[in-house]
Structure 1
Amino acid sequence: MGFCKSPATSVDLPVDGWPSKRICLEGIERELETELRMEPQRSWGGASGEGGRDSSIVRAPSPPPYTTFATRAIHPPTFSAFKPRDYKQHTQLAMNHVAWSCDGKRLAGVGMDSKARVWMPDKGMDTKSATLFSGGHSDEVDYVSWNPTHPDLFCTSSQKDRRVVFWDTRQMRHVQQVSLKVSPVQTGYSPDGRVLLYTSAGHQTSFLVYDKEDDEVKESWRPSTKEAVIGSAAIFNHAGDGLVLAHHTEYTLRVVDYPSLALRESIAAHVGGCAAVALDPRGRYLASGGSDSIVNIFDLSDWICARTITACEHSINSVSFSHDGEYIAIASAGSYIDICATETAVSLHRVPALAPSPTVAWHPSRHIIAYCGQIPRREGGPLPAPVVSLFGLME
């Protein structure tokens, strides 16, 4: 079966347990458009003009009916019923990044100093509840990534000491320390956990591989012999045979094969550069966020922009899909986190934050997001303080 180039004209629906059939929706949409033209516009809670119509209001078109939660028998969480839980840390240094382990039992945070902190949120999130991992870095830590194949393994990176350090939560000392010639900014594992990509302050993406030389008995992490490729942000695809690369000053995304690094696609994405990318766990969509305050959602079957999220008013720092792929969390330069529906791009809830967050991460199996930031000092108020926050269905 060929790919549907226009998701607005047809859709696959399961019929009596058999493989999906393609249903034409052009007639349905024509009927809906006719009804919308006939229905008078109403003003809700604002000043109205002649005939009760406010000409200053620009209304977004309704999403196709087959994409709504009701049509797909999905009951979204009542996000408005939840309140963020903010955990202030006892230091004046900033918090840079948080990430969940692959089983969701641990949350790691870095940035305040040369240590990595790991919490078990079900047991507590205060400063005393954190397990400290130290000795691997000599300066501030920027990023943390968990191995997708083992819930005890993670790595941290620092731009200032130019190191990537590998850890095992079952022992306090680092497992391995890799010194680099460049300053690593972000890291990300391949799906099999045997390749680690890292982007540098010079906007280059390079790799570490987990293997052994012919005369060695034990495997270890070592720099790859592959040439670095241009990219400020990068992620592996779910198969591990491709990468998506973004650059903070380029308006296009680049899709390359791995390990050949041959260019496969070049996609127009943002006006002012792209800062964040994320893959839908279902393998349907790619989300990208840029300095233009827009999040684009691309259909992976044809790399066409399926929809655009315009809920944010600030440049995008991070995007993350929920474990079921139904929701996107967006962190920006504003003091809030936006949660939007993937299939409709509709804004579902805005989570108030104590400070702008450089990152946001969904729990791998629950509707919980983690994010962090630094509370700025106000005149006559307390000193700046880093904060780690959780929001969602905690029980």
Structure 2
Amino acid sequence: MAPPVRTRQSLSKDRFVSYFAPLRSQVYSDSTPRGGTGGHSIRTIAWNPLGSLVATGSSDRTLRVWNPEKPLVRFSTELKGHAAGIEKIAFNPVKDAELCSVSNDGVAKFWDVRTKACVNEVKGLGNAHTLAWAPDGTSLLVGNKSGGLFRISPTQPAILSSHPQPVETNQMAFCWSGEKVFLPTRDGRIRILSYPDLEPVFHVNHAVKPGESTEFALKGHTASCLTAELSPTGRFLATGGGDAIISLFDTQDWICQRTISRPLGPVRSISFTFDGRYIVGGCEDGSGLEVTHTESGEHVHTFKMAGPCEVIAWAPTRYCLAYSDLGVLRVIGVDADRK
């Protein structure tokens, strides 16, 4: 078992660089990767609610849970069962040892990471590629590349409800009350729907053409919107797009307060620090992760990488960043606990 995680004080912009400058990333790697490629091509990373475990899902079907304090593979747990590459994983927000994974095999699997057991599975999800837990941990939304959206339960093998969408939904995010869900779409909009009925929450207050929808949606990208993330404080909704931009929307008036244009390619993932002060995006191009101060939009720090880094995740309880670099999991900040 990992030791208890000590929560951290927030870092000011001035202290952020001095805190991370002396730290080096820790490598977590299976020395016998399948296929002899030298890496598993990690597609998704998730921390458990306490920040004591970090899981990775890969294109070669490898699903592994790591203890960040013990980087050797013999201290990790491999979960076996998917018949195709793993697209997205996420821990239950209220159960520290329950993990959900979705794959191109059309199956969502629920795991007890303590026993390695698959405790439930839901089939018939198509080419699933995205999932998001409702904040109370009782249900999830799974989206596939054909525009299907499915509400499922961690305790029931049948799909609870299906909701075909007019356009493909990418990585979703819930509001913290669980009453709304934000759906980034292939056409660059971010839909705001009620949950669990998935109806538009807001409507435009001006006349529309006959047959045209009155649904209000956020518009912050000139290309496909690929991901959305709500800040821990609930103040900002961040979205990343194929236009290499991160947009920050104020959740009070739904106005885009600022955009971050430092990414060099499509933004595939976004993560806030536990206090919401800093944000970082993972993108397809470049060799660094750019950290931005959320309130001011000021660039704070660059984490240098060996290559492009599409998958990133800040720990939920401390300044500890997990990311994939050349197909290998790395974590920076875990050694700060030993100072």
Structure 1 length normalisation: TM-score? 0.72
Distance across 2 between alignment mates of 1:317 and 1:225? 27
Gaps of at least 5 residues in structure 1 are 1-67, 211-218, 376-385
Q: 1:203 to 1:356 in 2, by over 3 A?
A: farther
Displacement, 1:332?
Answer: 0.6
Equivalent in the alignment of 1:121: 68
Distance across 2 between alignment mates of 1:181 and 1:170? 26
Classify the secondary structure of the residue corresponding to 1:239: coil
Equivalent in the alignment of 1:194: 138
Gaps of at least 5 residues in structure 2 are 1-10, 203-215
| CA contact 1:109–1:118 (8 Å) conserved in 2 | yes
**Bigger shift: residues 305-314 or 278-287:** 305-314
Counterpart selection for 2:45 from 94, 98, 103: 98
Displacement, 1:392?
Answer: 2.7
Q: 1:253 to 1:181 in 2, by over 3 A?
A: closer
Displacement, 1:183?
Answer: 1.4
Distance across 1 between alignment mates of 2:242 and 2:162? 30
Displacement, 1:142?
Answer: 2.1
Equivalent in the alignment of 2:160: 224
Equivalent in the alignment of 1:81: 22
Determine whether 1:234 maps to 2:172: yes
Q: Which has the larger radius of gyration?
A: 1
Which protein, 1 or 2, shows the higher relative CO under an 8 Å CA cutoff with sep ≥ 6? 2
Distance across 2 between alignment mates of 1:209 and 1:131? 24
Distance across 2 between alignment mates of 1:193 and 1:339? 30
Classify the secondary structure of the residue corresponding to 2:140: strand
Q: Given residue 121 of structure 2, which amino acid in structure 1 is its aligned partner?
A: Q
Root-mean-square deviation (CA), in Å? Answer: 2.0
Equivalent in the alignment of 1:144: 89
| CA contact 1:84–1:351 (8 Å) conserved in 2 | no
Equivalent in the alignment of 2:302: 350
Distance across 1 between alignment mates of 2:126 and 2:59? 21
Q: 1:251 to 1:177 in 2, by over 3 A?
A: closer
| CA contact 1:98–1:371 (8 Å) conserved in 2 | yes
Distance across 2 between alignment mates of 1:349 and 1:86? 21
Q: Give 1:150-161 correspondences, 5 Å limit.
A: 150-159=95-104, 161=105
Q: 1:278 to 1:368 in 2, by over 3 A?
A: same
Equivalent in the alignment of 2:315: 363
Equivalent in the alignment of 2:76: 130
Distance across 2 between alignment mates of 1:318 and 1:357? 9
Displacement, 1:251?
Answer: 2.5
| CA contact 2:138–2:153 (8 Å) conserved in 1 | yes
Counterpart selection for 1:325 from 269, 273, 276: 276
Distance across 1 between alignment mates of 2:174 and 2:44? 19
| CA contact 2:148–2:162 (8 Å) conserved in 1 | no
**Bigger shift: residues 150-159 or 253-262:** 253-262
Q: Given residue 161 of structure 2, which amino acid in structure 1 is its aligned partner?
A: T
Distance across 1 between alignment mates of 2:255 and 2:54? 34
Distance across 2 between alignment mates of 1:336 and 1:190? 32
Equivalent in the alignment of 2:333: 392
Displacement, 1:239?
Answer: 0.5
Structure 2 length normalisation: TM-score? 0.83
Displacement, 1:192?
Answer: 0.5
Deviations 1:115-161 (A, max 9, x none): 42111112x12322211111x212322221100001110011111x2
Equivalenced residue count is 302
| CA contact 2:55–2:63 (8 Å) conserved in 1 | yes
Instruction: Provide the identity percentage.
Output: 26
Equivalent in the alignment of 1:11: none
